[in-house]
Amino acid sequence: MGKEIIKIAIPKGYLFEPCVELLGRAGYDVDFLLEDNRKLSIYSGRDLIQYIISRPMDIPVYVEHGACDIGFSGKDALMEKESRVYELLDLKNGRCRIILATLKDGVEKVKEHYRHFGMVKVATSYPNIAKKYFDEKGIQAEIIKLHGSVELAPVLGIADEILDITSTGRTLEENNLVEMEEIAVSTTRMIANITSYRVKYSLINNFINQIKNVIK
Amino acid sequence: MFESKKDSQVIKLPSGMRDILPPETDERNKIKEIIGREFKLWGYGEVNTPIFEYTKNISVGAGKNWKDKLINFFDVDGSPVSLRSDMTIPIARVAGMRIRENQLPARFCYFADSFRQSGVQRGVRRIYNQAGLELIGFKNSMIADIEVLIILINILNELDVRDYKIGLGHVEFIEGLCDWFKFDVKERDYIRKKVILKDFVALERNLEKKDKKKAEVFIQSLQPEVDVSRIADLISGIEDRKIIESFNYIKKVNDILTGLDYRGYLMTDFSIIRDFDYYTGLLFEVYCPYLNDIIGSGGRYDKLIKKFGKDIPATGFALDIDLTHKAIGGLESKENLKILLKLECSGNSMGSIKLIELARKLHRKGVVVELCYEDRPGLEEFAKEKKYSFIVEVKSGFESLKVIDVNKNIKKEEKVSDFIKGISKG
């Protein structure tokens, strides 16, 4: 069977750099991850690691189905996907908050609307989180799924409020939105496939320890 | 009248259900045969139980939210009934209802479909074909658990499942850890939930609030471990009866199996918690590389049969046939000679009847014969796909025939009588 390798899923986008930086500090060879190309699958012969670069929302799915043994995933994606994966470590980077927001002058309007119709309209890229949140509060909500630029929804009048992530609050500000409530705080997590975690335990454990050393 | 034809042609199955066609069924049957042989060698007898029973029986001993995971409907008299969600509960019911003291110990095995509800969107299957056994009524729980584990390992080896691992855990271990932390009922529920999810981030955060050092031990002791002594070192300072006893139990099971040359398949994993809450002692799960699910699992359930009227200890396991099949891929085995038999000029029914007679002669020699009564285009591809080695064309008059070797593309003519004789020689 040759030498065993581990397959690691790395998120594209804003989590990419902090994750690669962390790998670098932990002593892994990351130079070719930083090369400016469009390769989505990169093999490190030195570390025996296959890196898969993918959309953040797909990472829990890849790991759940065993396409990757380990992945770096935002807690927001984990909450949304509810994938059957193991959450091993908090990398403590990529911090953002999952919040409810509405138009600056809209808070009262939303409340009034809810009193009147017993229903709110929410636009989000996280329909599952939204559904759970409103179910728990016993509020009827119509959830509109959008693939990004959710901030537009209240401006365009297709939703009363939005459920989205924010880190600095700038996008909210620029789109004339205010935060109504914080639902959760998300950071990057290291996740593992259920069987890989057992079958490749020593490799994975080794990897966890390397990463742990540079987090603390 | 109002139905558009196009729509009516779209035939669907309820989500999570599927049909299984002959090639796959063949392979599954071979798997079941190998499993069944091992069951039989150890004296296990096959039981069959109804596919649905009263919900109140099926839901006994199952976890709190388990009822939502059953497929439920109503009987004609309005009683709620459910499809069985596993075979352990029906067999426990059988044991409680039907087994007399002097019939113990009972060794039961089964090959059965069970059904579990799942979210429609997730595309998860709702039908589970399992092979399993239950060993009921031995007071010495350890030796019974060992027998069950040995049978499981033998089966996995017979099936040539590669690189699998069996994780051994114990229900009481986590309970003990919770005692050690002096958790109340609510906290225990939370901890159990997080352990099931293996959400070590949330666990660590929660435990560290109470005691940072103890939290480290808690988390470390739940990691999979091939070397049992490392867990022993880790928990050496803890004086909790549940932790000590459950650990010693697993250590002893591990030692005995290692002594019997079953080293290499086992590891301890005290994070194992099953979604059925009838388990009382040893728990185990089988993991396979490249499969994202547990292919088999089992454990001890000493209190379950009591719910059906008799206080009898029991242990057992179930193997998932779909996943086991995936784990081993295809199955090559010695097969009978398989041929496609046809007339050179088909079309008349007298000829076809004579063809059936010839097939019966060949059947007696153990040859698998599929008959082609009608000409069809692409016969060779058809034969290859169904793994027939020869196409045999009988000439009118039934004196001679043409044998076409599908794989080697060789054709030769032969007398019918010589052909039959040739088969008996091999």
Burial state string for A194-208 with b = 16 or more CB within 10 A and e = fewer than 16: bbbbbbbbebbeebb
Beta strands in chain A (DSSP E): 6-11, 41-44, 49-54, 70-74, 86-90, 96-103, 120-124, 141-145, 161-166, 177-186, 188-192
Is any Cβ of chain A less than 8 angstroms from the Cβ of B219? no
Contact indicator for B18, B128 with CB cutoff of 8 Å: no
Q: Which residues does chain A have within 8 Å of residue B167's beta carbon, measured at their own beta carbons?
A: 198
Compare B108 and B410 and report the one with higher pLDDT.
B108
CATH number of the structural domain B338-424: 3.40.50.800
Q: How far apart are the C-alpha atoms of B178 and B164, rounded to whole Å? A: 31
Is pLDDT at B12 greater than 90 in this prediction?
A: no
Could you report the per-residue pLDDT of A193-204, keeping only the tens digit for each?
988 998 888 899
Give the residue extent of every domain in chain B: 22-328, 338-424
Q: Which of B106, B24, B162, B98 is nearest to B310 (CA)?
A: B98
Give the H/E segment covering residue B109.
Answer: strand B106-115
Average pLDDT over residues A14-28: 92
pLDDT band at B5 (very low <50, low <70, confident <90, very high): low
What is the DSSP secondary-structure string of B366-384?
T-EEEEE-S--TTHHHHHH
Task: Please answer yes or no on whether B198 and A205 come within 8 Å at the CB atom.
Answer: no
Selected for mutation to probe chain B from A199, A202, A207, A212 (highest B CB count within 10 Å) is A199
Q: How far apart are the C-alpha atoms of B409 and B404, rounded to whole Å? A: 7
How high is the pLDDT of residue A216?
Answer: 67
Q: Which of A107-116, A124-133, B120-129 has the highest mean pLDDT?
A: A124-133
Task: Please answer yes or no on whether A198 and B290 come within 8 Å at the CB atom.
Answer: no
How far away is chain B from the Cα of A204, in angstroms, using its nearest Cα? 11
Question: ipTM of the assembly?
Answer: 0.75
Contact indicator for A87, A191 with CB cutoff of 8 Å: yes
Could you report the per-residue pLDDT of B155-190, keeping only the tens digit for each?
999 999 988 999 999 999 999 999 998 889 898 889
Q: Rounded to whole angstroms, what are the CA distances from A120 to A39, A115, A127, A155?
A: 43, 10, 14, 16
CA count, 13 A, side-chain hemisphere, B116:
16
How high is the pLDDT of residue B274?
Answer: 78
Q: Which residues does chain B have within 8 Å of residue A197's beta carbon, measured at their own beta carbons?
A: 198, 224
Average pLDDT over residues A31-44: 84
Beta strands in B314-377 (DSSP E): 314-320, 338-343, 368-372
Task: Please answer yes or no on whether A87 and B197 come within 8 Å at the CB atom.
Answer: yes
How high is the pLDDT of residue A40?
Answer: 86
How far away is chain A from the Cα of B202, in angstroms, using its nearest Cα? 9
Q: Which of A90, A78, A54 is nearest to A129 (CA)?
A: A78
H-type helices in B74-184, by residue range?
A: 88-98, 141-158, 171-180
How far away is chain A from the Cα of B166, in angstroms, using its nearest Cα? 9
Could you report the per-residue pLDDT of A88-118, keeping only the tens digit for each?
999 998 899 999 999 988 888 888 877 887 7
**Number of residues that make up chain B:** 426
Residues of chain B with pLDDT > 70: what percent?
A: 92
Could you report the per-residue pLDDT of B376-409, keeping only the tens digit for each?
888 888 888 888 888 998 888 888 888 988 888 8
The helix/strand/coil state of B1 is coil
CATH number of the structural domain B22-328: 3.30.930.10
CA count, 13 A, side-chain hemisphere, B167:
28
- What letter represents residue B193's amino acid? K
| Residue matched to tokens 């969107």 | B121
* A117's tokens: 């119709």
Q: Which of A1, A199, A205 sits opposite B287 (nearest CB)?
A: A199
Is pLDDT at B14 greater than 90 in this prediction?
A: no
**Closest residue of A to B199, CA-based?**
A87
Q: How many CB pairs under 8 A join A and B?
A: 62
Q: Which of B387, B254, B253 is nearest to B330 (CA)?
A: B387
- What letter represents residue B178's amino acid? C
Is pLDDT at B235 greater than 70 in this prediction?
A: yes
* A168's tokens: 């600095």
How high is the pLDDT of residue A1?
Answer: 43
How high is the pLDDT of residue A189?
Answer: 95
The helix/strand/coil state of A179 is strand
Neighbours of A134 (CB within 10 A): 18
Average pLDDT over residues B348-373: 88
3-state secondary structure A33-82: HHCCCCCCEEEECCCCEEEEEECHHHHHHHHHCCCCCEEEEEHHHHHHHC
Q: Rounded to whole angstroms, what are the CA distances from A8 to A46, B290, B293?
A: 15, 14, 19
Q: What phi, psi does B405 have (nearest 5°)?
A: -80, 110
Is any Cβ of chain A less than 8 angstroms from the Cβ of B255? no
Q: How far apart are the C-alpha atoms of B131 and B87, rounded to whole Å? A: 9
Mean pLDDT of chain B: 88
CA dihedral B26, B27, B29, B31 (to 10 degrees): 170
How high is the pLDDT of residue B250?
Answer: 95
Q: Which of A87, A196, A205 sits opposite B200 (nearest CB)?
A: A87
**Number of residues that make up chain A:** 216
Is pLDDT at B273 greater than 90 in this prediction?
A: no
How high is the pLDDT of residue B343?
Answer: 86
Q: Which of B197, B199, B224 sits opposite A201 (nearest CB)?
A: B224
* A42's tokens: 């990169």
Q: What phi, psi does A200 have (nearest 5°)?
A: -110, 35
CA B266, chain centre distance (Å): 19
Average pLDDT over residues B279-308: 91
Average pLDDT over residues B98-102: 89
How high is the pLDDT of residue B376?
Answer: 83
pLDDT band at B7 (very low <50, low <70, confident <90, very high): low
Selected for mutation to probe chain A from B198, B212, B266, B270 (highest A CB count within 10 Å) is B198
How high is the pLDDT of residue B213?
Answer: 87
Q: What phi, psi does B347 have (nearest 5°)?
A: 130, -30
Residues of chain B with pLDDT > 90: what percent?
A: 45
Is any Cβ of chain A less than 8 angstroms from the Cβ of B124? no
Which residues, in sequence order, are CB contacts of B120 under 8 Å at separation 6+?
Answer: B15, B16
Could you report the per-residue pLDDT of B314-354, keeping only the tens digit for each?
999 999 999 999 998 766 656 778 888 988 876 677 888 88
The DSSP letter of residue B144 is H
Cis peptide before B105 (omega within 30 of 0): yes
Task: Please answer yes or no on whether A66 and B291 come within 8 Å at the CB atom.
Answer: yes
Average pLDDT over residues A112-139: 88
Q: Which of A66, A84, A199 sits opposite B163 (nearest CB)?
A: A199
